[in-house]
Structure formats: structure tokens, C-alpha cells
Amino acid sequence: MTMTELYSTEEFERKYTYSGTDLGAVWTKEKTSFRLWAPTAKSVKVNLYKTGNPGVDDRIAQIEMKSAVAGTWTAEAAGDMNGVYYTFTVELEQGVHEACDPYARTTGVNGQRAMILDLRSTDPEGWEDDHDPNAGKHITDAIIYELHVRDLSSDPSSGITNRGKFLGVIEEGTHTPDGIPTGLDHIKSMGITHLHLLPSYDYGSVDEAHPERDQFNWGYDPVNYNVPEGSYATDPYHGEVRVKEMKQMIQGLHRAGISVVLDVVYNHVYEGETFCFNQIVPEYFSRTHNGHYSNGSGCGNDTASERSMVHKYIVDSVKYWADEYHIDGFRFDLVGLLDVDTINELVDSVRARHPNVIFYGEGWSMATELTKPDVAMATQRNAWQTPNFAYFSDTLRDVLRGYVFDDRAYGYVAGAQGQEELVKACFMGHPDWCPCPTQTINYASCHDNMALFDRLTMSAPDASFADRVRMNNLAAAIYMLSQGVPFLQAGEELLRSKPLPGGGFEHNSYCSPDSINSIKWNDLSKPEYAANAEYYRGLIAFRKAHPTLRLTTDEAVREQVFALEGLDANVTGFHLRGSADDPAAAIVVLYNPNKTPTTVQLPKGRWNICITDKTAGTEPLLTVEGGVSVAPISACVLTLEPVTSPLSELDLSEKKLPLLLGAAAAMTAAVGGAVAYLTRRRKKDN
């Protein structure tokens, strides 16, 4: 039996699973205690350094560690060691390795030396009162805006001083040369609830020692999981600075009414062989076979979450971010490479102290070489096994814009035929893999693949600019008003584009320069771009105003949301019975991707049009009765005014309700503050 096979045996895990909470360096003013899990080591030493600069010969001391319980090693350093850097030297059968602490709370430049830290000294003023501004709400109340820290401020038109930094995210009063608000002020004006930050822990592809260089990466290459990224700090050399400034950013966002989601990448690491955990316990953290690293991630290695101490490490790490940094949500990269048990435990562990934290990720099914039999993975198809974890709906994404791996394939909003049933299922928060609307993240674009507007340009090359804008906004109206959780890439509301210098568009800008990745704030000076942002604001405001769009159970959706029938080909529509706390008695949502208008007959009553092809919001634009014309390539959304006529005067004849779902339909109307339930009618087409 090889050592890597031994790692996954019940005997090894029973003997060497450590359950304590003191791994790493635990600081007090009197002493610092070290504990490292290294069950295969012959000996271990702690190296203390004056600085965190790798390669500098400034070691202060070296302390011998003692073998302790469950494969751990312990040591102590007397006195106040706050600010001292350290590493572990581990003697193994394979040789001697010096490595950073996997449980490091912060590091020096480029993450090679950990730093002992008094965490309380990094808390901004008022940190003890900092909290999630959206606490008490459901995940379906969230509107998630995905942002790369650097993209927000790197374009000169941002007017942001701390360009590319944590602190730049929370600068207020910034504007373009034309005086148009940018950065945080713009984000606040959009009305989003959650800011999803692309990886902001310490990652390996950007040299922190030279932040002035034109270097960029999304950050999906972990080096130190519990350490903020140094290139986003104003000083990457002093470990406390990155911690303080990340906390300041989070506090500033909370004060702005915005919750914070951290993008986490536990499925793989930057380099499997050199990752600190694998340096200390060779090949334990990763799935390997005969020295070969499994590569389901496509990044050179896969994390062996099914092993007990990797499982513990991931759970401990997520809990740490929630406890120490007040993180309000976690987005998991390629979560389909992690096991169901790990996901469920980390969700339960975090929510035991922070019940409002949300969790979601990429649940793609991916091939990986598991180290144990009968391990269930956290994929879309296993969503029923992770009931408190949501997954990105590539179903809706591909329906809206076309198959993701064919840039010229077009989707529903560009006129693809035969997509009505998929649109209906996704609108109801129930694609075939999803058991509940709280488990679907609905989107049309994210950092991966082409920006939405670029994809529409590629897949509908003969369409005019105006029609591509209509397609863009129809896509937004579909995912924004569907049951589930809406999600958009930062700048989508500005028709964000990533053109390549030689023509075409970048579909994988993970290491492209700022000139491609930055948000071009100057576009807001163009009327068509400013109008587009206003349209998104209106969609968001409408969703937030109507709880009926944010149902939390499949049962509630079945009782209140009905697909309309008898519409023109390719047109979809829905009738929603208003929830008790909804200001609308009923809502009708219509989507027309065709190049010609369509007319839809409405149930009797006075219907307020709130969303059209050009305008979106909560205020009525027009009141109609009888029927409504839906413009080409657009959405039309109407709300039912309170009923003023007696119930007997409402015409419920079948010819007046040609749009209701074949199953049944119901409307609720408020009369003098009371709720009257209209009779459900079944419609059959002959």
C-alpha cells in the first residue's frame, strides 16, 4: 500500500484526525502557541523571522517542536510575538521542506512566510458593531453583483484614488471627468444587495513585490486560503496591512447596505506539489495516484476533500472568514469537485453562528480521481443532497445566450426557436436539476466566457446595435424576474465589452490587461449606455418591490405562478398570484423575443404597465384594460390594480382568460385591505 492509499484508510484517519481549534499560531501577549498537523514527519521546527520577505537571511530563532496528539506537533514562543514572521521546517522520508503555515492568518510579501498576528489590533473602529445589512432575508431576496477588485477602479475614468486596492472599492464621491458617479456610488445606485468579490485571498499569479507592473489575474490560483491578497493592499510587505484594509472594505460595504460574498476556490491550488499543505504532508491535500495529480479542475490538481483533515481544513477556513471578516456569503468555484458531506458541514457550521450567510457555486459534473469509494459530489444533479446550497443555472444561461462552448450559437433572446418550455421551467425556478427556487442562481453573464453584449454581437452579427441592446435587456428581464436568485457581472448594465486589439472579443480574460478587464466608466456619458444602466435599476427595483418574485419553496411556486398558454410562437408569459405582502394583487410577465410585436389579451381589470422595452421601474407607465401590445425583442410586465368593482362583475369567462396555464390559475385582489380569492378555472384548448 502506498502512502497516499494509506491516507484514505479508516485506520489512518482514526489515528490521525485532529479535532482541535488551535492549529496554526495562537497569539497572546504573553506567548504564542504553535500546532502543526504533520503525521508523517520525523521532526518539525518553527523558524522565526524578522521580516516576511522570502530569501532574506533574517531568521531570529528556530524552535524544536514536540510530537503531540493525532499527528500534531507543538511549540511555544514566550513574549509578545505580534508581527514576527514564521515558517515550519519539516523532516520527511522524502527530504526536508520549509513551508508556510496552512493555517496562516496573514503573511509577508507573496505569501511564503506566515506572520504571528494580534487579530484584534487589525479591527477597524466600530468593527464589533459591524454586521450583515441584509440579515433576516432569504437568499431569494439577494441580488448579486459580481466584481473583481481591480476592475472597479483600474480605468482612469473611475476617478478612484486607490486604484486596484481594497480601499478603492469603498471610496465615495468618485466620478468620471463628466461628473457621473462611479465605483461604490454607482453600485449603491443600482440597488443590489450583495457584492460578490472574485477571489480576494492570497493567490499566486500576481507578484505582490511589484504591484506597479501591468499584471492581472482573476485569482483562481490559491496559495494561502486564510490570507487576504497582498496586491490589493497598499502595503504587501507588512502582513497586518492587508488584514486591516480588507476589514475596512467589508465594513464600508456594510455601511453602504451591501452584503459581501467571497469567491472561494477550495477545489484546487496554484501548484499541487509546492502547496504548503502538500509540502508538510506530501500529496495529502490533493487527489493523486502513483504521483499523478488528478486534474478534473483543468488547473493541474484536485483537492481531496473526502480525506478527514482536508475536510476539516475547508470547514475551518470558511468558518474563519465568516467569523473574523464578517463575510456574508460564499461562492464556490467548481464545487462539483468537492464532496457533499464537506459542503453540508461547512454550511451547518457557519450558519450555527451566522444564520444569514448564503452559499452557492458551480455544480458542474467533472471527472476526478477520488481517493475513497462511494463519495457523493456537490453537483447540480445532487442538489437535493445539499438543500442549503445553491448552484449556477447554466440551463438558463445557455437558453438565453446560446450554448456556452459555441460563441456563434444564439439563444432565446436572439430568436432561437423551441425554447419556450425551458424558459418556463427556469422562470419558475425549476430547471430539471433544481428541487427548489432557493437553489438556482439565475444569470446571463459572469467573469467566465464572453460578456453578455459581446456574445450577442457574435451570435447575432447582423442585428443592429439597438436590437442587441434589446436582446441584452430582455435577457436581464428574464433572469432578474425569475424565481430563484438573480446574479449579474459588474458592468453588464453598462453593456460591458472586452474587445481584443486585433478584432473579436476576449472570452477568457483571466490574465488579460486592465485595458480589457476594467470597467469603462466613460461609457456612462453616452445616452444609450446611461439609459441601459437605468433600465437595470428599474428591473432591480421592481423585483425588490414584489415578494411574489422571490418565493422560497417549490410548493409556493406551484400555487402562485402559472405559465400562460395560447401565445404566439416563441412568446412566453406568466401569471403570478400576489403574495399577501405584495402591493400587487397579481402580476403578468410577458417575454417576446420575436422581431415583430405581439398582442396578449389580459384578464378583466385595470393593469398597470411597469416594464416595457424602453423603461423599467415600480411606477405605472400606462394603465390598460383588455389587452396589451408587447414590443419586439422585449419584456412587458404589468401589475393588477386593487379591485374596485364587485366580485360578481369580474368577467371570468374562458375567452377572457386565454392565457392561463392549463393546470389552473388564480388571482388575488385586495378589497378594502382584505383578500378575496377568485375562483380557479381550468382552461382546455380544443
Phi and psi at residue 257, to the nearest 5°:
85, 15
- Is 534 one of the catalytic residues? no
Grid cell in block for residue 492 = 453588464
| Residue 278 burial class via C-beta count within 10 angstroms: exposed 0-12, middle 13-18, buried 19 and up | buried
The angle that helices 394-401 and 420-427 make with each other, rounded to 10 degrees, is 140
Distance from the Cα of residue 677 to its chain's centroid: 39
Helix (H, G, I), strand (E, B) or coil at 166: helix
Number of helices (H) and strands (E), helices first, in the chain?
Answer: 16, 31
- Is 316 one of the catalytic residues? no
Identify whether the C-beta of residue 560 lies closer than 8 Å to the C-beta of residue 678. no
Element (H, E) at 91: strand 85-92
194 has which bridge partners?
144, 259
Catalytic, out of 171, 302, 362, 420: 362
49-65 burial: b if 16+ Cβ within 10 Å, else e: bebbbbeeeeeeeeeeb
Catalytic, out of 221, 245, 333, 523: 333
CA dist 620 and 611 (Å) reads 8
CA dist 73 and 89 (Å) reads 12
Identify whether the C-beta of residue 440 lies closer than 8 Å to the C-beta of residue 488. no
Q: Which residue bears the cell 430563484?
A: 484
Residue type, 141: D
Q: Could you write out the three-class secondary structure of 336-388?
A: HHCEHHHHHHHHHHHHHHCCCCEEEECCCCCCCCCCCCCCCECCHHHHHHCCC
Grid cell in block for residue 95 = 527530504
Residues catalogued as catalytic: 333, 362
